[in-house]
């Protein structure tokens, strides 16, 4: 009877496996075993060239995550080419200008994005919920900043995570909000052009066409804070 070889392999989840053949001591066909690859416990850091920098790139500098707000490739008459950037620190909110040598290697920040629903405000904190797990994530008022004027309960937003912590959130590009008050000194007029200030349910004030009246819902572009259309 052929001998039996018993091997204890680690029970790790993996995506790819590799088979190896081991001959048995007492003869017989070789036994094929599946070798489970080792999986790192740490997040993979992806590097890319400074030439690939663009607006919205997430990079890691001095151990912190940054978002590129502006960039400019510069090739002077003398000297090496470089990339001039303006970046915002996700954690502190600080905005700085930094220059990178053209073609240099930069670590790409592993920023993950998840959709959560804004549910309510608890004191100075804004509470977002995962509708699948009902797990709550909280952001302080300082983290929300001026975005709070477009934030409405029940709105889906994208929360950004880095190293397991929430570092920022993104509003929908277009939001539907109700007009609660318009300038009483200007009457709505569908025939004439022009605009008037209107106060929305979140407290934000935007300029709307003269034909928009109190009680109506409008679409606002959160990137510019401007009126887009009637809802």
Residue pLDDT, tens place only, 30-57: 544 434 333 333 344 567 888 889 999 9
For 191, residues 6+ apart whose C-beta sits below 8 A from its C-beta are none
Answer whether residue 26 shows pLDDT above 70: no
pLDDT at residue 192, rounded to an integer: 58
pLDDT at residue 91, rounded to an integer: 87
Beta strands in 64-170 (DSSP E): 64-74, 82-89, 95-101, 105-108, 111-122, 125-129, 136-140, 156-162, 165-170
What's the CA gap between 172 and 105, in Å, rounded?
33
Q: Which residue has the higher pLDDT, 14 or 167?
A: 167
Does this model's pTM top 0.85? My answer is no
Q: pLDDT of 184-201, one tens digit each? A: 655 555 555 689 999 999
What's the CA gap between 36 and 34, in Å, rounded?
6
Q: pLDDT of 51-107, one tens digit each? A: 889 999 999 999 999 999 999 999 888 888 999 999 999 988 899 999 999 999 999
Which backbone phi and psi does 115 adopt, to 5 degrees?
-85, 125
């Amino acid at each position: 009877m052929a001998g039996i070889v018993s091997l204890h392999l680690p029970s790790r989840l993996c995506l790819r496996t590799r088979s190896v053949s081991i001959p048995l001591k007492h003869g017989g066909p070789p036994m094929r075993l599946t070798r489970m690859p080792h999986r790192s416990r740490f997040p993979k850091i992806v590097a890319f060239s400074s030439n690939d920098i663009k607006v919205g790139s997430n990079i890691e500098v001095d151990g912190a995550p940054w978002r590129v707000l502006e960039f400019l490739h510069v090739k002077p008459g003398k000297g090496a080419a470089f990339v001039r950037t303006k970046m915002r620190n996700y954690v502190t909110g600080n905005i700085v200008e930094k220059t990178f040598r053209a073609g240099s290697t930069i670590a790409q920040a592993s920023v993950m994005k998840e959709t959560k629903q804004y549910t309510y405000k608890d004191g100075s904190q804004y509470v977002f919920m995962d509708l699948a797990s009902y797990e709550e994530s909280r952001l302080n008022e300082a983290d929300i900043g001026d975005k709070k004027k477009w934030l409405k309960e029940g709105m889906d937003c994208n929360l950004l995570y880095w190293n397991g912590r929430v570092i920022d959130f993104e509003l929908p590009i277009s939001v539907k909000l109700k007009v609660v008050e318009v300038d009483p000194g200007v009457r709505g007029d569908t025939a004439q052009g022009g605009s008037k200030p209107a106060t929305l349910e979140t407290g934000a004030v935007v300029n709307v066409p003269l034909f928009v009246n109190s009680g109506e819902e409008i679409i606002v572009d959160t990137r510019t804070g401007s009126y887009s259309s009637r809802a």
